[in-house]
Structure 1
Amino acid sequence: MSTDENTTTATATTAGETVAAMASTATRYAVAPGYRVNVRSGPSTQYPVVRSLPLGATVAISCQKYGEWITGPYGTTKIWDNIAPGEYVSDAYVRTGSDGLVAPRCA
């Protein structure tokens, strides 16, 4: 292997480890107690359910997007939390401690 190949491999590994470390240290927010929250493929109840969160779940919010207004245990909001690629939950069911955005807006 040439020096350039070793450097590229080392850089890729370091970048991958950095992304993994960031994901594991991301702030996690509790889902409302007693609720099995539906996770949808987009920021509205018009999108299909892709899975449901179990009781006592916590989520890491990668970004947030405005969508359908939803009323839940934490108020009424049109903010939807992106918790994984193609997975959204209404912020009305996530205890973020804020009525506004707590993560960057999704592209």
Structure 2
Amino acid sequence: MGGSAYLPIAPGVSVNVRSGPGTHFSIVRTLVVGASVPIYCQCPGETVSGTYGTTNLWDNIANGQFVSDAYVHTGSDGYVAPQCS
């Protein structure tokens, strides 16, 4: 995937974008309802329950910007992009 495809955020949800893979990281911005995001890489982090289940997977959507995979429609419960280094 490598960030070339944009994937939709869960319908009807505005999602906080955080500076790291967990809710204890600061909020960088908030995605508007209906937004789509690229996934450059993914990494394990805090477990979150969201629209698409419960997961500890976090998606890197820009430099220093992460959203929980529980709110991104990837069609998978696992990795769909390389693991962040």
Match of 1:98 among 66, 76, 79: 76
TM-score by length of 2: 0.96
Are 1:35 and 2:13 an aligned pair? yes
5 Å-filtered alignment, 1:1-107, equals 26-107=4-85
What is the rounded CA distance, in whole Å, between the counterparts of 1:50 and 1:102 in structure 2? 23
Structure with the bigger RCO (C-alpha within 8 Å, sep 6+) is 2
Structure 2, gaps ≥5 residues long? none
Larger proportion of helix: 1
Structure 1 gaps of 5+ residues are 1-21
Report the aligned-residue RMSD.
Answer: 1.1
Look up the SS of the partner of 1:99 in the other structure: coil
Please say which structure displays the higher CA radius of gyration.
1
Instruction: Tell me, in whole angstroms, the C-alpha distance in 2 between the residues paired with 1:68 and 1:41.
Output: 13
| Structure 1 residue 27, shift from structure 2 partner | 1.0
Question: Offset at 1:32?
Answer: 0.3
TM-score where L is the length of structure 1: 0.77
Find runs of 4+ consecutive structure 1 residues off by over 6 angstroms: none
2:19 maps to amino acid: S
